[in-house]
Amino acid sequence: MNTWKRKARAVKRFWSRVNIKGKNECWLWKPGPTSPDGYAQVWWEGKGEMVHRVSMAIYLGRPILSPTRKLDQGEIIRHRCDTPLCTNPNHLLLGTQADNIKDRDTKGRTCKGTHRPAAKLTEANVRSIRKIYKKRPKGTRMNKPWKYGMPSLARKFGVHISIIDSVLKQKTWKHVH
């Protein structure tokens, strides 16, 4: 198989693992996160690479260049939507590390109070989530895609996996027991 064909196959396989939706919606990586902070990696061009970076590389039609994990010198890929598993190129921005820090500071100031995403759940939901999660067999990693894991809880309650993560780690809804 020539290089071009192999590349085309890899691209096709990549998109088959993405839940592709409308232009303005989040396209979530179906296999779920591979790291505790909610990001996912995939094998790409001979090494582990973040799925949103692979998406941007495909979209821009260029390889992921340097081993320092930058797409190009000084460039990083950011999410407009703050959803680590999103691979929709329309939700991704090509920027610099400086932009990223600036962006995070702005969001940190504005993302408090009633607009917090955790507000989508009810107290009853939170109790159920914690109860279901407690039923998991011992020694199971919390981000594994199995019945009591975070991805299935996220699907069941219709929220992003990061919200489930915060609920389980008592970062949110601390007052609910």
Triad 84, 125, 172: Cα angle to 5° = 55
Contact window for Zn ion (CB under 5 A) among 21-29, 46-54, 141-149, 164-172:
21-29
Shortest reach from residue 114's CB to Zn ion, in Å = 22
HSE-up (13 A, CA, CB side) for residue 101: 3
CA 32/CA 144 separation, integer angstroms: 8
Query: Is residue 172 a contact residue for Zn ion (CB under 5 A)?
Result: no
Tell how many helices (H) and how many strands (E) occur in the chain. 6, 6
DSSP state at residue 71: S
- How many Cβ atoms are within 10 Å of 106's Cβ, its own excluded? 10
CB of 162 to Zn ion, least distance (A): 12
CB 3 → Zn ion: shortest distance, Å?
Answer: 31
- The 10 Å Cβ neighbour count of residue 67 is 7
Cβ proximity to Zn ion, 81 vs 94, nearer residue: 81
Q: Which of residues 78-107 bind Zn ion (CB under 5 A)?
A: 81, 83, 86, 88, 91
Shortest Cβ distance from residue 28 to Zn ion (Å)? 8
Is 26 among the residues that bind Zn ion (CB under 5 A)? yes
Q: Whose Cβ is closer to Zn ion: residue 88's or residue 143's?
A: 88
Residues of the shown chain interacting with Zn ion in the complex, contacts defined by CB under 5 A? 26, 81, 83, 86, 88, 91
